[in-house]
Amino acid sequence: MDEHAEQESLEAQLLARAKSGELDAFEQIIVRHERRVFALALRLTGSVEDAKDATQEAFLRMHRKIAYVDSNRSLGPWLYTVTVNICRDMGRVRQRSRVKQMDEWTAHTPDPAADPEGVFCGRQREGYLRAGLRTLPEKERAALLLREMEGLSTGEVARILGSSPATVRSQISTARLKLRKFFARKSGESL
């Protein structure tokens, strides 16, 4: 049995135990997925606090619906679907304050021309990336992040977002171009 299959088998066992009410097993599932869920939520919402809330809510929803989670499938896509939905709801609630948030991020985005090497290091790079992601429409952002961060196939992303694979392919491609244009504009480079 290869490592991937072994991990899936272990997860299926944990899920079965969690379904029977074992909180310890449920917590082990959280440990396995919390960082990825948080990272996705962070890039979807652009806020650490929102990402924490979204992560907590995603696992609570999982706990409430655990009886309906398919044990034969990987938990990842199920959790990412829930996370995307939670972040979308959060975005709708905070839509009014989004413009202000955007301005704050843009203001904190480092000037790439001043320190081209520093831009792509650590926190600055992350801020730079998140500022770019925030310029994307919700679905394009989600499609791009699910594809790149989680390494999901176009079909899997389409299922999560409730779109067709062709639409998702187009959204991802458009998102890449928009993001590149944002980075180019910020760094003053020509495309």
Partner 1 sequence: MSCRQLEGRIALYIDGALERDGARILEEHLRSCRACAEFAERLEFDRGMLRTTPMECMDVDFAALRAAIRQEIAQEPRSNLFLPALGMAAAILLAAGIAANWPRTSQVKPGAPTSIARQALACESCIREKPKPAKPRRRRASSAVPHADPDLEAALRDFVASESAPSPADESMSPIAIRIMTSDPNVVLILLQESGGGSDE
Site size for partner 1 (CB under 8 A): 45
d(CA 51, CA 157): 20
Among residues 22, 60, 73, 137, the one that binds partner 1 under rule CB under 8 A:
60
Residue 154 CB, shortest distance to partner 1, in Å, is 7
Question: For the window 117-136, what string marks contact with partner 1 as x by the rule CB under 8 A?
Answer: ---x-xx-xx--x-------
Q: Does 52 bind partner 1 (CB under 8 A)?
A: yes
Closest CA to 138 of 109, 165, 161, 156: 161
| Contacts of residue 119, Cβ cutoff 8 Å, sequence gap at least 6 | 110, 112, 125, 128, 187
In the range 143-162, which residues lie near partner 1 by CB under 8 A? 144-145, 147-149, 154
Q: Does 7 bind partner 1 (CB under 8 A)?
A: no
Q: Does 188 bind partner 1 (CB under 8 A)?
A: no
Give the residue with the Cβ less far from partner 1, 11 or 143.
Answer: 143
Among residues 25, 30, 69, 102, the one that binds partner 1 under rule CB under 8 A:
30
How many residues are present in the chain?
A: 191
d(CA 51, CA 86): 10
Segment interacting with partner 1 (CB under 8 A) among 70-78, 89-97, 109-117, 174-182: 174-182
> Residues 185, 177: contact at Cβ < 8 Å?
no
In the range 75-114, which residues lie near partner 1 by CB under 8 A? none
Residues that bind partner 1 (CB under 8 A): 21, 23, 27, 30-31, 34-35, 38-39, 42-43, 48, 51-52, 55-56, 59-60, 63-64, 67-68, 120, 122-123, 125-126, 129, 144-145, 147-149, 154, 169, 172-174, 176-177, 179-180, 183-184, 191
